[in-house]
Amino acid sequence: MLNTERKDDQAEKEIIRGGQRELAERVLDAGLCSGCGACVNICPYQAIYRDRTVVLHHCDLAQGRCYACCPGAPTDREGLLTGLYDAAELTPELGAVKGFYIARAADEGVRRGAQHGGTVTALVALALREGLIDAAVLADAGDGLLPRPATVREPEEALRLGKSRFVVSPAVAEFNRAAQGDAGRIGIVATPCQALALAKMRVQPVTAAYGGIEKLGLVVGLFCGWALSWRGLASLLGKKTDLAAITGMDIPPSRYHSLEVYTQGGIVSVSLDEVISCVRESCLSCPDMTAEFSDISVGSARLPEGWEAARSWNQVIVRTSRGAELLELARRKEIIEFREVPAGNLEKLKAAALNKKKAAERAAAAQNDSILKERTG
Amino acid sequence: MSVDGSWKEGVEVLLMGNEAIARGALEAGVRVAAGYPGTPSSEIIETLSRFAQAGRLYVEWSTNEKVAMEVAAAASFAGLRSLCVMKQNGVNVASDFLLHLTGSGTRGGMVLVTCDDPGALSSVNEGESRHFARLMEIPLVEPADFQEAKEMTRWAFELSEEIRNVVLVRSVTRLSHASGNVVPGSLPVLGGKAEFLCDGPVSDPERGPVISAPVVQKHRLQQEKLRRAAQLFETSPFNVYAGPEKPELLIITSSACALYSREAVAILGAEGRAGILKIGTTWPLPPALLKRHLLGAEKVLIVEEVLPFIEDQVKIMAAEQAREIGIKTFYGKYDGTLPMAGELNPDLVAGAIGRILGIAAPSLPAAYREKLGELAALTPKREQTFCPGCPHRASYWIIREALQRDGRRGFVCGDIGCYAMAVLFQAAGFHTAKTLHAMGSGTGLASGFGKLGPFGMEQPAIAVCGDSTFYHAAVPALINAVHQGADLTFIALDNSGTAMTGFQPHPGTAVNAMGEAAPLVDIGALCASLGAPVFCGDPFDPVRTRETLNEILETEGVKVLVLKQSCALSPEKKGKKQFLVRVDETLCRGEDCGCNRLCTRIFRCPGLLWNREKKKAEIDEVICAGCGFCAGICPAGAIINEEAARA
């Protein structure tokens, strides 16, 4: 179980205080907003509109949940990890690793309707079916690929929303909204930034009331190298195909250097050179590749046989006993099937994750340099 | 304001300055009166409308002051006496027509009454209309009290008929909106058929076409008319002197300043040293009258509002007459004795006179001053904002939330009406409205902003325009925007009346100034006929309206959004609540994160109160208009609307 027992003063030290002003200055205006939605639907002062987090009215509180829960605000990740996970299982590259697997949905139909191995989709549908959660926050899309989170109650609806989006949807805003309704235990499929926001929400010291975080029942994390800005992606793809005809997308391993777009008329391959310019600015300083603040994290597999074999499998990191129990249940009910983990896979994953952490450090250092130059130049 | 339909000849009655002016016009046998609502002038047309009767008196609220003047001029050309009424900026609007009208001349007596607003108590300027008399070369008279307001107005029609040109009667707020004793005169028997004689030669001002050409010839004629007026002014009973034959200080004053001057002299006890020459016939200033009084004094103080109009002319005359009258010492605005901006009052004038004569003006007793300070600290700070239940607050809320979502630093070009408050008091408009000028200027400005895209302008411009303002001035600017292909979001705030000035009717209401049923000109239909897409919304339906606004903000060209919801003070709404609104304290989040007093800190309807002891919001049942809008913005659902029982 996720450890929610924290000493108050420890929490105090780890959360750097601030309100809307700090949120605006240090995150929104600094290009560090990932669009997770944690600051939305907790108060009337922020909103997400067309993939942009906006301030609606001025809030003058010195300290607010918006800043306390924001993954783009300064965070003591180490403190948060040791507080929420078993210290013995923490790794420097991947966070807590209780277990590491290569797995996929046993049902080929589920795999086809979802992304890669369909593990996330299968697990969420199972959790709903078994009543472990009574609602799940997933990513849907509106007109023109505009990300739009959705809360589903039925397992079938979860099966329908299995495709990867590559644009962060404000899932935490949707969680905040759903938590005010009659859902009792809410699961969520979360990018690393969204999972971090939810973790910060569990320990924020600003206010006990009006939260809803106690309804969080399951966090399935997604591996993520970077996400794309909706505006950039929609503009780029709109030149190449009819956005309404897009059925899915994928980014194969880096050597393919492409974004694959599946449409009703066939596959459109877009060079990553064009796609890179659409990467959301906040992603450049994110150190988390495997969603370290989840119960269980899932990404696409890498296998010695190559991409054609690997693309229908997932890599799975179990982090908490809740995550372990869900995966075990899925194995027993034959919802999920497993294969042997090839030697060196975990090391390769750690190396990739470490690269992202180094890149984030470099980006942070560069930003500090430019701020210094501005102030002294 | 008491309107006693039976004002009796010879029986003293208390009248507002504007009522006295209206009575003066009635005693002169006015047949047509037209104007546009503008504080402090509006009561003149309102009063006359109560006496309107087919064939006897026609009263009109025109779409703007230029049209009002044209309507009045037509009556004059047809031989009827006519009155045209406006506030100071209205003369600016009518000035192009006035320029040509004074060149062509008039026939039936035509009086232009302008009510200026020194100190801008109800304006966003304190411009002066007196200079138009000089500019347009017509006579100007200024009443100094209520009886005079009536007498002068009546006499102005006679003068106009004698010189065959417009006469300007200028009042100010402190006269128009104050009340005083007036003895009404007799009402005439009305006669005369409206007929426009125009078949004669161009050179015949009485029977030929009415035009200002040939210009130089007509201009000379116009100046002759003015000289005739100046002659009459030399012996006018409206120029009154009171004081010693050879005063130590000669005070030349006019209008309400005459009252301030009298009071100031009395405060100082300086009746034996200062004499007051009250000028009623201000332009052209009669030179012989002036010379007589300048001869008798060494020191001259000119007391007037706002600009040095009389002061200029007196000094010019003094220079011309110097050999006869000698050198004088002038005190006024140019030397800083009196301010050149803002309105005057007895204390300011007493201070000036006191400094000149070396008399210490009595100051407030120390105990009184201290008490004043204590009371000032106790009085609550009341900011100007929209009424409870006002649809404009809701409209600006919607605009704010839409612009913030839009994210391109868009802004509103504001215009004149109650909704102008959004620009003047930024919190009232939720910091969206950023320009404010003249009637219809918001649309013109936004039309201009909407052409700056090629220069790198990314901020969308929104023009917000009231219903009356729309008919007054916005239409040409809107046509311009359509024709020039400007990117403009035009929002019409239709609250079914000219609300700010007292809820006068306009072409969007189905009734006219005289209370008769009148055809309606629909704003949305008119805009659609220009070829612009027209959307309709209800400001009290914020979610849908805001979505519509966000969508149209992203499109190019001219888009029109008509927000229709009647004013909280309109007859069908005033005093009637749709909802009984209350706050559930168990749900109210107050200052906590998650609300931080959204309703009382940001939304700020006067019906919402913050209880500092309980730290909860509450509804003031007396002030709340029962519109129910605030219930929709409370993040905790703590504001409850209950349907009010229909009485």
Residue A44 covered by a domain? no
Which DSSP letter does residue B644 get? P
Looking at the complex, report in whole angstroms how far the Cα of residue A50 sits from the nearest Cα belonging to chain B. Answer: 8
Q: Are residues A271 and A339 in the same domain?
A: no
Interface membership of A49 toward B (CB under 8 Å)? yes
Find the helix or strand (DSSP H, E) in which A366 lies: helix A345-376
**CB spacing of B596 vs A206 below 8 angstroms:** no
Model confidence pLDDT, tens digit, residues B449-493: 999 999 999 999 999 999 999 999 999 999 999 999 999 999 999
Closest CA to A199 of A318, A322, A75: A75
Residue span of the structural domain in which A132 resides: 8-12+76-229+279-376
Q: Domain boundary at A256, A276, A296, which?
A: A276
Is residue A92 one of the residues assigned to a domain?
yes
As a whole number of Å, the end-to-end CA separation of chain A is 51
Mean pLDDT value across chain B: 95
Number of domains chain A contains: 2
Give yes or no for A206 touching B (CB within 8 A).
yes
Closest CA to B85 of B159, B122, B124, B33: B33
Q: Are residues A311 and A365 in the same domain?
A: yes
DSSP letter at A15? B
Residue A285 and residue A241 in one domain: no
Q: How far is CA B596 from the centre of its chain?
A: 39
In this prediction, residue B1 carries a pLDDT of: 37
In this predicted structure, what is the pLDDT of residue A48? Answer: 96
**In a shared domain, residues A219 and A365:** yes
Tell me, what's the pLDDT at B4? 53
**Same-domain status, A287 and A223:** yes
What single-letter amino acid sits at A344? G
When scoring B393, B396, B549, B596 by the number of chain A Cβ atoms within 10 A, the one with the most, hence best to mutate, is: B596
Residue-level pLDDT at A1? 36
Q: Are A89 and A170 in the same domain?
A: yes
Domains B391-564 and B579-643 in one fold: no
Find, in chain B, the residue whose alpha carbon is nearest to that of A60: B596
**Does residue B198 register a pLDDT over 60?**
yes
Over residues B26-66, the pLDDT tens digits come to 999 999 999 999 999 999 999 999 999 999 999 999 999 99
Give me the architecture of the B240-357 domain, per CATH: 3-Layer(aba) Sandwich (3.40)
Contact between B602 and A58 using a beta-carbon 8 Å cutoff = yes
Query: Which residues, including other chains, have CB under 8 Å from residue B99's CB and lie 6 or more apart?
Result: B135, B136
Q: Is residue A50 part of a domain?
A: no
Same domain? For A317 and A221 the reply is yes
Per-residue pLDDT for B81 more than 90?
yes
CA distance, residue B550 to nearest chain A CA (Å): 10
Q: Is A175 on the interface with B (CB under 8 A)?
A: no
| pLDDT tens digits along B147-175 | 999 999 999 999 999 999 999 999 999 99
Closest CA to A75 of A288, A305, A221: A288
Query: Would you kindly state where each structural domain of chain B is located, as residue ranges?
Result: 13-234, 240-357, 391-564, 579-643
Structure tokens at B127: 């411009």
Interface test with B, best of A45, A46, A146, A207 (most B CBs within 10 A): A45
Q: Which residue among A58, A66, A210 places its CB closest to the CB of B589? A: A210
Is residue A237 domain-shared with residue A163, that is, in the same domain? no
Q: Do A240 and A121 belong to one domain?
A: no
A51 belongs to a structural domain: no
> Are the beta carbons of B594 and A209 separated by less than 8 Å?
yes
Instruction: Show the tokens assigned to B441.
Output: 């200027």
SS3 per residue for A206-217: CCCCCCCHHHEE
- Model confidence at B646, pLDDT cuts 50, 70, 90, reads low
Q: Is residue A115 part of a domain?
A: yes
pLDDT digits (tens, 9 = 90+) for B406-447: 999 999 999 999 999 999 999 999 999 999 999 999 999 999
DSSP-derived secondary structure letter, B416 = S
Kind and range of the H or E element at A268?
strand A266-271
Nearest CA in chain B to A53: B405
For position A263, which CATH number holds? 3.10.450
Q: Please tell me which of the candidates B405, B550, B593 has its beta carbon nearest to residue A43.
A: B593
pLDDT at A123: 97
**Choice among A35-44, B176-185, B326-335, B568-577 with the minimum mean pLDDT:** B568-577
Look at residue B7 in the predicted model and tell me its pLDDT: 92
In angstroms, the separation between the Cα of residue B414 and the nearest Cα of chain A is 20
Asked whether residue A3 is assigned to any structural domain, the reply reads no
From chain B, the residues in CB contact with A33 under 8 A are none
In CATH terms, B579-643 corresponds, of 3.30.70.20, 3.90.850.10, 1.20.1250.20, 2.30.30.760, to 3.30.70.20
CA distance B405 to chain A (A): 6
- Architecture per CATH, B13-234: 3-Layer(aba) Sandwich (3.40)
CA distance B387 to B568: 7
Which domain-ending residue is among A276, A310, A331? A276
Q: Are residues A183 and A236 in the same domain?
A: no
Mean of pLDDT values over B83-101:
97
Burial class (CB in 10 A: 0-12, 13-18, 19+), A320: buried
Q: Does domain B391-564 have CATH number 3.40.50.1400?
A: no
Question: What pLDDT, on a 0 to 100 scale, did the predictor assign at position A45?
Answer: 98
Counting residues of chain A whose pLDDT is more than 70, the rounded percentage is 94
Whether residue A208 sits in one domain with residue A108 = yes
The Cα–Cα gap between A288 and A286 comes to: 6
DSSP 3-state percent helix, strand, coil across chain A (nearest 5): 40, 20, 40
Query: Which parts of chain A register pLDDT below 50?
Result: 1-6, 14-15
Q: Which of A276, A293, A309 is the last residue of a domain?
A: A276
